[in-house]
Amino acid sequence: MPEFLVLNKQRKHPIDRKEVGVFLRSIVPAMGIAGREFAVVFITDAAMQAYNRDFRGYDKPTDVLSFRGEGGVLGDILISTETAYNQARRSRTLSFEKNLHRLTLHGLLHLMGYDHETDDGEMRSIERRFRRRFQC
């Protein structure tokens, strides 16, 4: 059984699932989470808004949400391709593909238990280090 799944539940923006898998196979061992199961699911803004409203109380879409699993399962990462695409369009340096990598990394750190809202910069520091190392 694979340690991760990459699911595309939207059709607005093409996703190269194979390329996402290549990125994950490079970053997962470096993060020390090899062998832990998780899923990365690409969804629409409308679906993301529903998850954000139902689970966080914010009735608007966001770029990435993470849901921690139990036992050996790390959890699930949801990424809105519409929001990710729009972020990349507004950036002079960030491509859509690299933004997907960046959001996946961010989601993985949350699945590992990091929380940038409460950890006095620890997650941001780790995330910056991985962004440099993996060029995202």
Query: Where would I find the beta strands (DSSP E) of the chain?
Result: 4-8, 37-43, 64-68, 73-80
Domain chopping of the chain, boundaries: 4-133
Alpha-carbon gap, residue 17 to 2, rounded angstroms? 14
pLDDT in tens, 123-135: 999 999 999 999 9
- Which residues does residue 41 pair with via DSSP β-bridges, in sequence order? 7, 78
Q: What is the pLDDT of residues 63-120, one digit of tens each?
A: 999 999 998 899 999 999 999 999 999 999 999 999 999 999 999 999 999 998 888 8
pTM higher than 0.75, yes or no?
A: yes
Percent of the chain's residues with pLDDT above 70: 99
Q: How many CB atoms lie within 10 A of CB 7?
A: 14
CATH number of 4-133: 3.40.390.30
Are 64 and 106 in contact by the 8 Å Cβ rule? The answer is yes
Q: How confident is the model at residue 10 (pLDDT cuts 50, 70, 90)?
A: very high
pLDDT score, position 110: 97
Euclidean distance between CA atoms 96 and 42, whole angstroms: 13
Whole-number Å distance between alpha carbons of 70 and 52: 21
Handedness of CA 128, 41, 46, 15 (dihedral sign): positive
Query: How large is the greatest C-alpha to C-alpha distance in the chain, in angstroms?
Result: 41
Query: In the block, which residue shows the tokens 């290549």?
Result: 22
How confident is the model over 36-56, as pLDDT tens digits? 999 999 999 999 999 999 999
The predicted structure's pLDDT at residue 2: 62
